[in-house]
Structure formats: C-alpha cells, structure tokens
Amino acid sequence: MTPEQIIFRKYLEKIFMNENENIIKTIVYCNHNQEKMHREERRAYKSLTDREINQVVNEITLPF
C-alpha cells in the first residue's frame, strides 16, 4: 500500500468501527462528512485513484 492509502485506511477503519463494521454506512458517512477529515486524511483521499480506494476498502472488509 502507498503512504496515502495507509493514511486513508486508518481513517476508514476508525469510521468503520464507529459504524458497527457496516461498510455501506461507512461509505455514506465518509461521503457526507468529508469536511470532518483532517487535512492530511483529505489530501491522501483526494490523491488516490478509484482502484487504490477499492483496494483499501477490500483490505478492511476482507476479514469479514
């Protein structure tokens, strides 16, 4: 994973746990609350391609 993916993964994992491990709620939350991301998290997210974002989501949901 790239450094940006790692930053985004940490953010996404935190939200995923707060949303009771529901990936749909996690994605909706992230989409509606981008302004709550720290600058570093937002910068990392914006720099990722769709494929890289999907890889992060896959890494988080794979154990389930």
Q: Is the pLDDT of residue 51 over 90?
A: yes
Determine phi and psi for 16, rounding to 5 degrees.
Answer: -55, -45
Q: Is the pLDDT of residue 64 over 70?
A: no
Tell me, what's the pLDDT at 17? 96
Q: Which are the contacts of 29, defined by CB distance < 8 A and separation ≥ 6?
A: 15, 18, 19
33: nearest Cα among 6, 15, 47: 15
User: Per-domain residue ranges for the chain?
Assistant: 3-61
Give the pLDDT mean for 40-47. Answer: 96
Cα 34 from Cα 11, distance rounded (Å): 11
Tell me, what's the pLDDT at 43? 97
Cα 11 from Cα 24, distance rounded (Å): 15
Taking only the tens place, the pLDDT of each residue in 13-39 is 999 999 999 999 999 999 999 999 999
Determine phi and psi for 45, rounding to 5 degrees.
Answer: -60, -45
For residue 63, what pLDDT band results from cuts at 50, 70 and 90?
confident
